[in-house]
A and B are shown apart, each in its own frame.
Chain A
Amino acid sequence: MSTQLHPTQQVDPGAPAIEVRDLHKSFGDNHVLTGIDFHVDAGQVVCVIGPSGSGKSTLLRCVNRLEEPTAGQVLIEGIDITDPETELDAVRSRIGMVFQQFNLFSHMTVLRNLTIAQQRVKKRGRREAEEVARANLERVGLSEKVDAYPAHLSGGQQQRVAIARALSMNPDMMLFDEPTSALDPELVGDVLDVMKTLASEGMTMMVVTHEMGFAREVGDKLVFMADGVIVEEGDPRTVLGNPREARTQEFLSKVL
């Protein structure tokens, strides 16, 4: 897309896809993030784990500024999105996001869910948008649901449609906010399969999750957060199998 992202800053192909510098976030007196430094390189799959309330979802939501950082910087492909001059909507259209609660537009068919932002934001024609939408529905295995409304789909199907909706914008990276946490156990597998395929195709992914198996199998890097800071990060097998920090060991002993 040729839309200007920032009047002076340019996309830097050498920069990390996501770079977070000394990020702080408070809700009133509640300090949720207290100085996060973190990056995701292009093509990497980074999983973020941690107890609830550790700030991992808030961190993810700061990456596309759904949550306004209190202090610090977030750079997307080298462009500082905390700078008020940044064309936030244009940057967001390059970052796909998948939510815990799916958040499909409930008054629109599956097809319309996938085309509306393509037409409004990417200025694609209806025909082109529908072609892209159908291709992405096929990718997640739900071609036959084009005309269904979200309420008529299972949770797992809704989440796969939500992934297809994000992919229809041809994003450079994808953010996943506990994508399987709201699903019945038997529906988790289909969603994880779609995510694994995406990872194998080289998509840059930042995944907040409780799925340790996915993190171990697919992740290039694992980040463990607690109490608003990154406690430990590294190769998933090392962090999961041989954690250095006591806080990590304590958490993993409870969930594994």
Chain B
Amino acid sequence: MTRTQRQRAVRLALYALFVLLAVVFVLVADWEAISTSFFVPEGFTETWQDFVLIGARNTILYTVIAFAGGFVLALVLVLMKLAPVAPFRWVATAYIELFRGLPALVVILFMALGVPIAFDGWRPPGGTIGAGLVGLMLVAGAYMAETIRAGIEAVPKGQTEAARSLGMNGGWTMATVVMPQALRIVIPPLTNELVILIKDTSLLFVVGMAANERELTTLARDFMASGPSAGTATSLIFVSVLYLAITLPLTRVVAWLERRQRRSR
């Protein structure tokens, strides 16, 4: 066989494999069961608003709170990592390693259930959901700190040297020369972390929340347990669509930002 013939044969075999897998999937799937358990729209005409006005609203609200809190925490951690006094650096490093090493779910449970035991019933404001959010914030801050530190290191050293050679002190150099450029560099990875955080708000499901505090996943879970679509996966399909409606545009934005940044280099 010549080279081109060989390539053509390989390609043909791959197409055949794909068709075979598709046929097997169609034959094996129980279409009857899928149609009765994955999509039962009856009763949703009255309650679909809950998914948007309560579920999607709270998911976005919790994301924004955790992201904003995590970002401020991350800035503090980064400044600590750059501090001239070693104990600050140790604490920041230990913090980042700890919270990146733990599952977010464990941290959330710890804040909502563990901390109130340890501190005699004290909770962060907002009840269990507030406590869960603090847990999410603590984890997000650790990840964002690493991202921002990488951004600072990506700013060419010559920028700092130029500022220092003009007589600007370390603080002003950081605030006016390094940080603005570092933040520009980390916008795409930070947006990525925002997308991850949107999905991680579903973990708050474990802390329990009042009816009007429910985010998308908790809401879906409730609709699987009761109501006209109980026992079906309809509500999961519904929230999946809503999650994607929020996350897909953001991942497109990240891709666009990354393209733009590559061009401007």
- Interface residues in chain A, defined as those with a beta carbon under 8 Å from any beta carbon in chain B: 64, 66, 89-97, 99, 101, 103-107, 116-117, 120-121, 151, 162, 165-166, 169
A selection of 10 A-B contacts at a CB cut-off of 8 Å is: A93-B166, A93-B167, A96-B165, A99-B161, A103-B158, A106-B159, A106-B181, A117-B167, A121-B167, A151-B264
Residue contact B162 to A92, C-beta cutoff 8 Å: no
Contact of B158 with A99 in the complex, beta carbons under 8 Å: yes
In Å, the complex CA distance between A44 and B166 comes to 21
Closest 9 CB pairs of A and B: A93-B167, A117-B166, A103-B162, A103-B158, A97-B165, A121-B167, A92-B167, A89-B167, A101-B158
Choice from B159, B165, B176, B181 contacting A120 with Cβ under 8 Å: B176
Closest residue of A by beta carbon distance from B184: A107
Q: Which residues of A contact B168 (CB under 8 A)?
A: 89, 116-117, 120-121
Do the beta carbons of B161 and A66 come within 8 Å of each other? yes
Query: A120-B172, A120-B176, A151-B264 are known contacts. Are A103 and B159 too (CB-CB below 8 A)?
Result: yes
Please measure, in the bound complex, the distance between the C-alpha atom of A64 and the C-alpha atom of B163, giving whole angstroms: 12
Q: Are B167 and A90 in contact (CB under 8 A)?
A: yes
Report how far A91 CA is from B161 CA in the complex, Å.
15
Chain A residues lying within 8 Å of B166, measured Cβ to Cβ, are: 92-93, 97, 117, 121, 165-166, 169
B60 beta carbon closer than 8 Å to chain A: no
Per the bound structure, the CA–CA distance linking A116 and B159 in Å amounts to 13
Q: Known interface pairs A101-B158, A116-B176. Does A89 touch B169 (Cβ–Cβ under 8 Å)?
A: yes
Chain B, residues 151-165, CB within 8 Å of chain A (1/0): the string is 000001011011111
Task: Name the residue among A121, A165, A169 with the largest chain B CB count within 10 angstroms.
Answer: A121
Since A103-B162, A117-B163 are in contact, a sample of 19 more A-B pairs with Cβ atoms closer than 8 Å, ordered by chain A residue number, is: A64-B165, A66-B165, A89-B169, A90-B167, A92-B164, A92-B167, A95-B165, A96-B165, A99-B158, A99-B161, A101-B158, A104-B162, A106-B181, A107-B184, A116-B168, A117-B167, A121-B168, A166-B165, A169-B167
B180 on the A face (CB < 8 A):
yes
Q: Determine the chain B residues whose CB is within 8 A of the CB of A120 once the complex forms.
A: 168, 172, 176
Contacts of A66 in B (CB 8 A): 161, 164-165
B177 interface residue, CB < 8 Å from A?
yes
Nearest-CB distance from A222 to chain B (Å)?
24
Assess whether B161 is in contact with A103, with CB atoms less than 8 Å apart.
Answer: yes
Rounded to whole Å, the gap between the CB of A165 and the closest CB of chain B is: 7
Contact indicator A107/B180 (Cβ below 8 Å): yes
